[in-house]
Structure 1
Amino acid sequence: MKQFSDLLIEESIKKESVLVVGLDPQVNNMPNYLINRQNEKLNLNIITNAILNFNKTIIDVVHPYVVAVKPQLAYYEIYGSLGLQVLEQTISYAKSKGLLVINDAKRGDIGSTATAYAQAFLGNSPINGDAVTVNPFLGSDGITPFINESIRYQKGLFILLKTSNPSAYELQDLELKSGDLVYNALASLIKKLSSDTITGKYGYSSIGAVVGATYPNVAKNMREILPKQLFLVPGFGAQGGDTSNLKYFFNADGNGSIITSSRGIIYSYKNELPEKWETISKGIMEEIIEATVIRARDEINSVR
């Protein structure tokens, strides 16, 4: 069984892409053909069925052009057991189309609880994917169990390092007594904790980091500290990350990062047809999303 980093690089080579599409389904942004929001009988079954059909449509359109999909778990957990069932079906469908799946769970805990989280998202559970995002706030006690399980199952981790949200600086940019910034100290910790993990044949560890596209100067520094880590880069598209700055996230070989876009792709029909998107057909929706994902892939490739 190949480890995650090798699978990701090979998909990137095959598809000439480093793009990841986030699956963040919101019924208020779906066309009427999928769900009639004026229906007084709207219930969880109708809603979750619409979400599953929406996700399948997105996957059908984007799978030739992207290396992975990234379900954001909050959009499924909100619907309880039916939502988790849709997550399970979405993951299974994505895998059937040859896509890698990154569970965007941002989990963080210690000891046996962290191990249980890791097994849920990386092991043999119904919602296991190929990688999971991890919150490192609890320190090595919270990170090490995830690393251990990722090694066991040959899966991947993306540890939150420098995130793209506006208030990230409030904690991540604090200066320590040593004079270092928190995110620099965390980068050093990630390097230390993953030093004993196996590097794949392409030179990358399966223990990666999340570094926002909105911080290109940070990316330069992080690349020096973590040359063997894969970066998951949010903030491209709807969050305003500049495509030209993405060059700082890649190594000289053009690899080392995968770039995520969610709303900018899956709801692109709202931007293209702001007055008519609710009444568009499935075919028109697919055409717009396909054109958008191809454009995003090509823009990213132009700076690699």
Structure 2
Amino acid sequence: MLSFSEKLTTAIQSKNNPTVMGLDPKLEYIPASLLQKWRAEFSDDEQFIEEALVRFNSALIDAVYDIVPAVKPQAAYYEMYGLPGLKALARTITLAKSKNMLVILDGKRNDIGSTASAYAAAWLGKTPLGETERAFWDADALTVNAYLGIDGIQPFIDIAEKNGKGIFILVRTSNPSATDFQDLELTDGRKVYEVVAETLTKWSKEYLGSDGYSPIGAVVGATWPEQAIKMRQVLQHSWILVPGYGAQGGTAADCAKQFKADGTGAIVNASRSLMCAYQKQMELPPEQFAEATRREALRMRDDLIKALRERDD
């Protein structure tokens, strides 16, 4: 069984593209003409919601699966639509995996003991069903929060390791108020996010694969490029998931700081700038939103590759 790191490396190399498309749909992101057309097909609100989300996501996946190695659905955007949203998420995961795309579920889960084990089994493992067991969500990786310490992380590590999956621990998030807690200084002068990164590295050393990576990755936002340089030096055994490119203000040059000298070790996410690319590409009608997304995905890939070539190591 391949490790998550090996799967991710293969996927990125096969498409020469270290990016991931966020799938964070809202009904209002769908072109109005299509939304109106699909609404007319269903008298039932729940059917309409599920089908609209799936059709939107399916078109985006079909548009980029040959050039983008992974998708990152954000669970909250499906949970807010209730059961129809969760059904749409399940179908979206299945669609992406049918196109050989990796699925990073952005759920930021955390708890301790049996509850953490339940979260891990739900998203990364299998749930016991009497004498059998079943993988319900079957994501390839999951974002998690380390605030509760190793008690809240160990169950995720164990199930990820067992099933060839991965986790990405929040280290330095892309939001402006990340400084409220992450920049607090300890008595020894280190900041909280630095301690999280160092602790993550300590945990990782127990689970190294043949490629030098563990299944324990990190989330480090593109909006903090100077801190990212230090995080890359500390997180030698972790893949870094980089949010914040595009709509949040992170540039390709900022993202390039997250990669190792050989251009590996990180994957950059974009969500709204890809999903809603049609809103800026006025030469295309809104109904061709998927083509607009493909064009933006290619532009993003080329932008990032150029930045990696031009960076000062």
2:17, 2:301 within 8 Å by CA — same for their partners in 1? yes
Q: State the AA in 2 paired with 1:291.
A: R
Q: State the AA in 1 paired with 2:45.
A: N
2:208, 2:237 within 8 Å by CA — same for their partners in 1? no
Residue 303 of structure 1 corresponds to 307
Q: In 2, distance between residues paired with 1:163 and 1:141?
A: 22
Q: Which of 281, 284, 309 is the aligned partner of 1:272?
A: 281
Q: In 2, distance between residues paired with 1:218 and 1:65?
A: 30
Q: Which of 220, 230, 253 is the aligned partner of 2:229?
A: 220
Q: Deviations over 1:83-109 (max 9, x none)?
A: 111111110110000100000000010
Q: Which runs of 5+ in 1 are unaligned?
A: none
Residue 62 of structure 1 corresponds to 64
2:205, 2:237 within 8 Å by CA — same for their partners in 1? no
Q: Which of 200, 206, 210 is the aligned partner of 1:190?
A: 200
Query: How far did residue 164 of structure 1 move?
Result: 0.2
Q: Which runs of structure 2 are paired with 1:180-259 in the superposition (5 Å)? A: 180-201=190-211, 203-259=212-268
Q: In 2, distance between residues paired with 1:38 and 1:159?
A: 38
Residue 14 of structure 1 corresponds to 14
Q: Which runs of 5+ in 2 are unaligned?
A: 127-134, 309-313
| Paired residue secondary structure (1:21) | strand
| Cα 1:38–1:253 shift into 2, 3 Å | closer
2:18, 2:267 within 8 Å by CA — same for their partners in 1? yes
Q: Which of 84, 108, 111 is the aligned partner of 1:109?
A: 111
| Amino-acid identity (%) | 44
Residue 81 of structure 1 corresponds to 83
| Cα 1:249–1:268 shift into 2, 3 Å | same
Query: How far did residue 32 of structure 1 move?
Result: 2.9
Q: Which of 153, 156, 172 is the aligned partner of 1:146?
A: 156
Residue 311 of structure 2 corresponds to none
Query: How far did residue 116 of structure 1 move?
Result: 0.7
| Paired residue secondary structure (1:174) | coil
Query: How far did residue 37 of structure 1 move?
Result: 9.0
| Cα 1:259–1:38 shift into 2, 3 Å | closer
Query: How far did residue 38 of structure 1 move?
Result: 11
Query: How far did residue 189 of structure 1 move?
Result: 1.1
Q: Pick which of 114-123 and 190-199 moved more.
A: 190-199
Q: In 2, distance between residues paired with 1:66 and 1:24?
A: 16
Query: How far did residue 39 of structure 1 move?
Result: 6.0
Q: In 1, distance between residues paired with 2:286 and 2:274?
A: 16
Q: Which of 271, 285, 302 is the aligned partner of 2:289?
A: 285
Give the aligned length. 298
Q: In 2, distance between residues paired with 1:159 and 1:48?
A: 30
Residue 35 of structure 2 corresponds to 35
Q: TM-score, normalised by structure 1?
A: 0.94
